[in-house]
Amino acid sequence: MLWFLFASLTAIFESLKDVTSKYGLKNINEYIVSWALMFFTLPLLLPLLFFIQIPELGSKFELALLIGGSLNIVAIIFFIKAIKISDLSIAIPLIAFTPLFLLITSPLIIGEYPTWIDAIGIFLIVIGSYILNLKEKEKGYLVPLKALVTEKGSKLMLLVAFIWSITSAVDKLGIENSSPTFWAIANYSFIAIAMLPIMLFKAKHSLKQIPQNLLTLIPIGLFQGAAILLQMQAISMTLVAYVISVKRLSALITVLLGYLIFHEQGIKARATGAAVMIAGVLVITIF
């Protein structure tokens, strides 16, 4: 069960990344935080090049890197914007919509089709998202669902979930044309480098925030890098679906940390909603 320990630590570091990002956004430009999230993973990832065998790259590696990296840049910026304007306990659980969107994108991209078990998982994810916004029910029974597409932070996070449903298939292509570890290093390096000019342009009047807030920015990337390394280690020991399912517990951890650190309201409904959505993910990924 060592894989379970690594997968659980992955979930914890994912949550710490979310919390430190939210904390940093109080005083730091969102484009700087987005760039730091990628750039400061590199001190953990790049040294691995000295310990792994460099794989022979397949013919589709460059295409996967260009498409996957470009889409992830958009997703990361939207992700940071979403947690800036919304409570963590509302925004982060919506990542659970990624496997739901995969049921749409997978048939189109890699020819995988959903089963009736997947339909149960979809139902649980939708019910969980309803519970997340339960406080809106007094305005009408459909209002909690409408909040998903009317509240700006929720809309952005749903877009992130949709983009990641596409990049999941691209990641598979990238790994098939290299190796899991080399793909992670190449992908994050590409994103960090490509995001640099975007950050310099969009945050050109806020660049002094970088040296002033290094102690806040560096942990964001280090937590993300640690999560990646732990996830790769766990995947080497068991099925990917098991690891990702345990990793999704980060949503519940983040909801609790949002309450404890940022004093976000509605903890009971949001924790319950996050738990139901995680159950939906478990159904889709394991059964």
Report how far residue 287's alpha carbon sits from residue 4's, in angstroms, rounded to the nearest whole number: 18
What's residue 113's pLDDT?
Answer: 59
Instruction: Give the chain's end-to-end CA distance (angstroms, integer).
Output: 19
What's residue 141's pLDDT?
Answer: 45
Burial 110-119 (b: 16+ CB within 10 A, else e): eeeebeeebe
Instruction: Print the SS3 string covering 192-238.
Output: HHHHHHHHHHHCCCCCCHHHHCHHHHHHHHHHHHHHHHHHHHHHCCC
What's residue 286's pLDDT?
Answer: 65
What's residue 189's pLDDT?
Answer: 95
What's residue 143's pLDDT?
Answer: 46
- Give 116-129 pLDDT, tens digit per residue: 676 677 677 767 76
Burial 223-233 (b: 16+ CB within 10 A, else e): bbbbbbbbbbb
Report how far residue 277's alpha carbon sits from residue 130's, in angstroms, rounded to the nearest whole number: 10
Sites in the chain below the pLDDT cut of 70: 99, 103, 105-116, 118-119, 122, 126, 129-130, 132-150, 239-242, 284-287
The single-letter DSSP state of residue 151 is S
What's residue 277's pLDDT?
Answer: 73
What's residue 280's pLDDT?
Answer: 77
3-state helix, strand, coil in the chain (%, to 5): 80, 0, 20
The single-letter DSSP state of residue 54 is P
Where residue 266 falls (left for φ over 0; alpha for ψ -120 to 50; beta otherwise) is: left
What's residue 233's pLDDT?
Answer: 80
Report how far residue 240's alpha carbon sits from residue 13's, in angstroms, rounded to the nearest whole number: 18
Residue that is written with structure tokens 């990702």 in the block: 244
Instruction: Evaluate whether 13 touches 233 at the Cβ level (below 8 Å).
Output: no
Report how far residue 112's alpha carbon sits from residue 43's, in angstroms, rounded to the nearest whole number: 36
Question: Of the candidates 57, 85, 39, which has an alpha carbon nearest to the alpha carbon of residue 221?
Answer: 39
The single-letter DSSP state of residue 190 is H
Measured CA distances, 38 to 134, 137, 191, 202 (Å): 34, 38, 7, 16
Report how far residue 248's alpha carbon sits from residue 78's, in angstroms, rounded to the nearest whole number: 19
Share of residues in the chain with pLDDT > 70 (%): 81
Report how far residue 54's alpha carbon sits from residue 139's, in angstroms, rounded to the nearest whole number: 57
Measured CA distances, 97 to 51, 141, 153, 272, 281 (Å): 36, 21, 14, 16, 8
- Give 189-233 pLDDT, tens digit per residue: 999 999 999 999 999 999 999 999 999 999 999 999 999 888 878
Q: Which helix (H) or strand (E) holds 145?
A: helix 143-150
